[in-house]
Amino acid sequence: MRRHRNLIIMLVMAALVAAAVYYIVPPSEKTHLGLDLQGGLEVVYTARTADGKVPSAAQLDQTIGILDRRVNGLGVTESQIQKQGADQISVALPGVRDAEQALRVIGKTAQLEFFKDDPVSRPVGPVESKQAALRELRRLGASKAEVRQLAAEGTTEHYSLVVRPADETAGLPEQWFVYRRPPAMTGAAIKTARAGFNSRTGKPDVLIDFTPEGSKTFQRITRELYRTGLLKNEPQTFAIVLDNEMASDPYIDYTDPTLRDGISGGAEITGGNMTVQESKDLAFVLNTGALPVKLEPAYQQQVSATLGKDSLRKGLYAGLAGLVLVLAYMLAFYRFLGLVADLALVVYGVLLWGLFNAVPVTLTLPGVAGMILTIGMAADANVVIFERIKEEVRRGRTVRSAVSSGYARGFRAILDANALTILTALVLFFFATAQPKGFALTLILGTLVSMLTAVLFTRALLGVLASFAFFDRPALMGVPAAEIQPEEPAAARRPGLRPQPQPQAAAPAADEPAAAPELRRTPRRTPTGGQKKRRKRR
């Protein structure tokens, strides 16, 4: 039964190694390097509020936090996002392949708003051009300054200029609208957003789930639109606007009695020409939150590696040299056990590299240092267990029983040491920034993988080898025959029991002659009167 379990573990480890190799090959394409090792893209944004003013420090800090979540969602880590001056934010992205897509997602404001389509909420539209919408608003009494600001920025304190792009599939031209602010709802009411497909047209769209409070507000709005449709005998619509662009314009069917109490739960954003990637990007930016400011790219440039390939090459050479020295030491000191440990270290290296690429982890020079450090930790776990095994062999146990006892006694020490290492790395990960955080991440992952290989893989491998006759030779474990003590009796190994000393006759003194054997006659006992009477009766 135990042999079958060990074989299953070996097969699982082989499958993990195969999966790791899949994520590694080719390494030049699947290994992610940081800015210090390969360079990347740097973009500087100028931030402005909705009314065109310089944002506050709190708004910039909030924007940096949202940008950081968006960058991580793109699969880019070890990025550098920082303030420059009072109104600029610098974003440096290592190894970005699609710069246009990254800029489109990162810089998208993602201000989602819901407007009613009644004459009060929409004073202008639809009209055929932007200038026509602005002229109509000016005719309705808006000031020249506000119209000029609306033309430049798209949003003022009182109005929003909205465009609905042309839909060639449906044959609809571009149309412009002016909506009165504030909107009926904002993106703050969104709980989650996910990409999907429209049930009627089959085109990509985005499905929105509201928060409990947002669901109540949306239900109230749709209930009002349903009642208005009953009074006017025509369907009522509302506009879903994303960054001053109409993403959807659904209507409420007043002839459907199930909509009498409104719609609760969620909504759907359908763009006429939305692609699958665009629906995913839109759902992503809605989930990460809307930016409190508008970002306009000031400039962008490709940045070179701050350390370069030479530093990477030296770091990898150092790691390779350390690995070779550890392998040689384990083989020389632990003999056959060292060979098993070397194989476990090779498996450890493959699994760790594959895990880094699968997460993915962006390797910087501190991250490479953390990876090299975990090589020694993986070997240290084997050292603790192997020393326990050698101690048991020296006490006279067989190699098979020594392996089982050594793992049982050494596991607790390994677990305690690695748990403390992980806790320390977690503190560093949560409280550090930039490159020290990368060092902590590689240290955590390396420690977890070393536990897997040192405890699970090596034990299963030794369990499989234990069935062979050559395995039960202490010399293969690095224990000379002179160091092996005879195994104690079972009673002596049980706590609280001691073998009783056997009684021995006292030996005669050396100068005293041995006494000759003496024959003595036992005196005859004279029977008493009572005894004589009993004999006569018999």
Confidence tier at 524 by pLDDT (50, 70, 90): low
Identify the weakest region by mean pLDDT among 65-74, 245-254, 381-390, 515-524.
515-524
Do 166 and 265 lie in a common domain?
A: yes
Q: Scanning the structure block, which residue is given the tokens 């608003």?
A: 137
Do 100 and 27 lie in a common domain?
A: no
Single pTM value for the model = 0.55
Q: Which residues contact 263 (CB under 8 A, 6 or more apart)?
A: 218, 219, 222, 252
Identify the weakest region by mean pLDDT among 390-399, 448-457, 469-478, 516-525.
516-525
Outline where DSSP puts E strands in 304-366. 362-363
Contact 165, 272 (CB under 8 A): yes
Q: Which residues contact 259 (CB under 8 A, 6 or more apart)?
A: 222, 226, 252, 253
Instruction: Please tell me which of 33-37, 74-78, 280-284, 528-532 the model is most confident about, judged by mean pLDDT.
Output: 280-284
User: Across the strands, what pairs with 241?
Assistant: 113, 246
pLDDT of residue 462: 82
Q: In the numeric block, which tokens belong to residue 249?
A: 């314009």
Contact 64, 80 (CB under 8 A): no
Phi, psi for 433 (deg, rounded to 5): -130, 160
pLDDT of residue 506: 46
pLDDT of residue 334: 78
Q: Which residues contact 300 (CB under 8 A, 6 or more apart)?
A: 41, 42, 43, 44, 99, 103
Identify the weakest region by mean pLDDT among 30-39, 325-334, 520-529.
520-529
With a cut of 70, say whether residue 529 has pLDDT above it: no
The domain boundary residue, chosen from 245, 261, 289: 289
Q: Which residues contact 175 (CB under 8 A, 6 or more apart)?
A: 125, 126, 127, 128, 163, 164
Do 82 and 148 lie in a common domain?
A: no
Do 272 and 125 lie in a common domain?
A: yes
pLDDT of residue 208: 81
Do 277 and 189 lie in a common domain?
A: yes
User: Could you tell me which of 127, 180, 183, 178 has the C-alpha nearest to residue 151?
Assistant: 178
Residue 202 belongs to a domain:
yes
With a cut of 60, say whether residue 484 has pLDDT above it: yes
Distance CA 330, CA 525 (A): 85
CATH number of the domain within which 51 lies = 3.30.70.3400
Q: In the numeric block, which tokens belong to residue 33?
A: 């390097």
CATH number of the domain within which 453 lies = 1.20.1640.10
Do 129 and 270 lie in a common domain?
A: yes
User: Across the strands, what pairs with 387?
Assistant: none
Do 11 and 41 lie in a common domain?
A: no
Distance CA 198, CA 459 (A): 54
Do 94 and 146 lie in a common domain?
A: no
Identify the weakest region by mean pLDDT among 24-38, 72-86, 259-273.
72-86
Q: What number of residues does the chain have? A: 538
Write out the residue range of the structural domain in which residue 220 sits.
Answer: 112-289
Identify the weakest region by mean pLDDT among 98-102, 286-290, 365-369, 408-412.
98-102
Residue 44 belongs to a domain:
yes
With a cut of 90, say whether residue 201 has pLDDT above it: no
SS3 494: coil
Contact 445, 356 (CB under 8 A): yes
The domain boundary residue, chosen from 449, 480, 511: 480
pLDDT of residue 162: 93
Q: Which residue has the higher pLDDT, 311 or 24?
A: 24
Distance CA 496, CA 457 (A): 37
Domain count for the chain, please give it: 3
What confidence tens digit (pLDDT) does each residue in 407-448 have?
887 888 888 888 988 998 899 888 876 667 778 888 888 888
Average pLDDT over residues 490-513: 48
pLDDT of residue 516: 44
Q: In the numeric block, which tokens belong to residue 303?
A: 């940045």
Do 147 and 215 lie in a common domain?
A: yes
Do 335 and 418 lie in a common domain?
A: yes
Contact 17, 266 (CB under 8 A): no
What confidence tens digit (pLDDT) does each residue in 291-338 have?
778 888 888 777 666 665 676 677 778 778 877 888 888 888 877 888
Average pLDDT over residues 239-243: 83
Average pLDDT over residues 119-131: 91
Q: In the numeric block, which tokens belong to residue 502?
A: 């056997």
pLDDT of residue 99: 62
Residue 485 belongs to a domain:
no
- On average, the pLDDT of the chain sits at 78
Confidence tier at 101 by pLDDT (50, 70, 90): low
Distance CA 346, CA 459 (A): 16
Q: Which residue has the higher pLDDT, 526 or 110?
A: 110
Contact 24, 485 (CB under 8 A): no
Instruction: Give me the sheet containing 88-94, strands edge to edge.
Output: 80-84, 88-94, 40-48, 294-303
Average pLDDT over residues 51-77: 74
pLDDT of residue 359: 81
Confidence tier at 16 by pLDDT (50, 70, 90): very high
Chain centre distance of CA 40: 24
Identify the weakest region by mean pLDDT among 83-92, 282-291, 390-399, 481-490.
481-490
Average pLDDT over residues 109-117: 80
Alpha-carbon torsion, ordered 324, 327, 331, 332, to 10 deg: 50
The domain boundary residue, chosen from 241, 261, 289: 289
Confidence tier at 386 by pLDDT (50, 70, 90): confident
Contact 316, 368 (CB under 8 A): yes
pLDDT of residue 509: 45
Distance CA 233, CA 255 (A): 9
Peptide bond preceding 182: is omega within 30 degrees of 0, i.e. cis? yes
Angle of helix 399-431 relative to helix 458-465, nearest 10 degrees, comes to 170
Q: Are strands 32-33 and 362-363 parallel, antiparallel or unpaired?
A: parallel
User: Across the strands, what pairs with 180?
Assistant: 159
Question: Three-class SS string for 190-245?
Answer: EEEEEEEECCCCCCEEEEEEECHHHHHHHHHHHHHHHHHHHHHCCCEEEEEEECCE
